[in-house]
Amino acid sequence: MPESRPLTVLCLASWEKGEAFLRECKRQGAKVLLLTVPQLKDADWPRDAIEETFYIEPSEHGQMNRDDLIKGVSFLHRTRHIDRVVALDDFDVETAAALREHLRVPGMGDTTARYFRDKLAMRFKAKSAGVPVPEFVPVLHYETIAKYLERVPGPWLLKPRGEASAIGIKKIERAPDLWPILEQLGDRQSFYVLERFLPGEIYHVDSIVSEREVVFAVPHKYLRAPMEVSHHGGVSGTRNLPLKSEDAKALLEINRGLLAALGKVRGVAHSEFIKAKEDGRFYFMETSARVGGAHTVEVVEAATGVNLWAEWAKIEIDRGKPPYELPSKRYEYAGIAICLARQDTADTSAYTDPEIVWRMAKKNHVGLIVRSQSPQRVEHLLAEYTRRFQQDFLAVEALPEKPWH
């Protein structure tokens, strides 16, 4: 950190998240600048940790306009020396990279950022490194697509290359159904990738990386596939796996190889994999240079005592000098059950199990995190809460296309 002045960290946030990151930056002695959208002006930001807050109107797709952002931040840079640029969510990763390139601020640049945002780029890179991926084809050359449809059995998934989570994914059951959809997409179709749909169970690994080494990683299994939840609603959740299990060992190995192949130098990553019913192998689905959503951070902290937001802040500030040291940790078992609630405030007072360590406090949402030394106990409680949430609280609505909706 410069001796003559505190380090200045500019955080981009299209979503309301990253409170622990902002607080840890402040605790480390850095000045925190927050750049967000006007729709989040009244969000519950940790304002005592933020030096200044700036706002920029989003584009029609809900993200910050890159050209306007570069001009605006360059103007700020005239009087505020910006040392770090951090994207707190997927939607801002490429924009943050473009800002770093323009300002010559250290950190992930444009090329590497694409591997953590562009679903086509990350698939090509992973495949070239020997990481198993479902068979895919770019939505570019029609003859190549037609041959792919003849060769690869359906159904298939048409995925936006730059969206987060399951936003915009369409399932294609028959080859003839694809072409009208592409015609409807028009000039936007090249921003999609077509991939074979593999039935199976979905897993994720949440990692901390320092100087190209995965220094911390926790493998998890979703209660239900995120795409199923986002498209059809219902109770979602996740739980961490026993480290000595065969699934955990396989996931940690493939995750380590993946992040090395994609060029992850430092920070955090959330990577998703599917264990195919067809052959029992793990296949890479997607990754991101951020912490996992849906309160995955709280699940990891409940199980291990490690807060991914806070550790990410330390790594961003120090950048390997001095070498990053992981805090003391444990490995117990934790999981979350969560869903939309039809009530403004969900009353979970009837849920009294001693394993409950966290209760969600958000309008029209309900969620519980449990912790135990027994993975079977966690699994049992989550199954029970899934059943009870459906009766007591569950509401269903469409997946929002804009982050601040």
User: Do residues 192 and 205 share a domain?
Assistant: no
Whether 168 and 296 map to the same domain: the answer is no
Clarify whether residues 45 and 16 are in a common domain: yes
Determine how many CB atoms are found less than 10 A away from the CB of residue 76.
16
Residues 338 and 221 reside in one and the same domain: yes
Domain endpoint, select from 107, 123, 157 = 107
pTM: 0.94
Q: What does the pLDDT average to over 342-346? A: 96
| Residue 66 confidence (pLDDT) | 83
Q: What is the pLDDT of residues 326-335, one digit of tens each?
A: 999 999 999 9
Distances from the Cα of 348 to the Cαs of 5, 253, 351, 358, in angstroms? 47, 39, 5, 11
| 88 close to 25: Cβ distance less than 8 angstroms | no
Answer whether residue 120 is part of any domain: no
CA distance 24 to 5: 18
Q: How far is CA 265 from the centre of its chain?
A: 17
Bridge partner list, 389: none
Q: Give start and end residues of each alpha helix (H) in 170-245.
A: 175-185, 226-232
pLDDT in tens, 149-191: 999 999 999 999 987 666 789 999 999 999 999 999 999 999 9
CATH classification at residue 78: 3.40.50.20
338 domain residue, yes or no: yes
Same domain, 275 and 328: yes
Nearest to 314 by CA among 206, 205, 204, 209: 209
In a domain, 398, yes or no: no
Q: Are residues 284 and 360 in the same domain?
A: yes
Within this chain, do residues 236 and 385 fall inside the same structural domain, yes or no? yes
Residue 209: CATH number of its domain: 3.30.470.20
Domains in the chain, number: 3
Token pair of 148 as six digits: 């792919």
Residue 1: predicted pLDDT: 45
* pLDDT for the residue 405: 46
279 and 226 Cβ atoms separated by less than 8 Å: no
Its domain, for residue 381, covers: 200-392
Asked whether residue 114 is assigned to any structural domain, the reply reads no
Shared domain for 153 and 76, answered yes or no, is no
Closest CA to 14 of 70, 68, 51, 59: 59
Whether residues 255 and 312 share a domain: the answer is: yes
CA distance 130 to 312: 28
Q: Is the pLDDT of residue 286 over 60?
A: yes
Same domain, 74 and 149: no
Q: Is residue 402 a part of any domain in this protein? A: no
Residue 113 lies in a domain: no
* Judgement on whether residues 164 and 50 belong to the same structural domain of the protein: no
Query: Could you tell me if residue 366 is inside a domain?
Result: yes
| Residue where one domain finishes, among candidates 196, 225, 240 | 196
Q: Which of 92, 107, 122 represents a domain boundary (last residue)?
A: 107
Residue 49 lies in a domain: yes
CA geometry: angle 254, 121, 98, nearest 5 deg: 115
Q: Which CA distances in Å does 403 have to 58, 60, 188, 398?
A: 10, 12, 20, 13
- CATH assignment of the domain containing 192: 3.30.1490.20
Give the C-alpha separation, 86 to 103, whole Å: 13
- What's the rounded mean pLDDT across residues 29-35? 97
Claim to verify: residue 212 and residue 175 sit in the same structural domain: no
Q: Does residue 2 register a pLDDT over 50? A: no
Distance CA 352, CA 360 (A): 14
Q: How would you classify the pairing of strands 356-359 and 365-372?
A: antiparallel
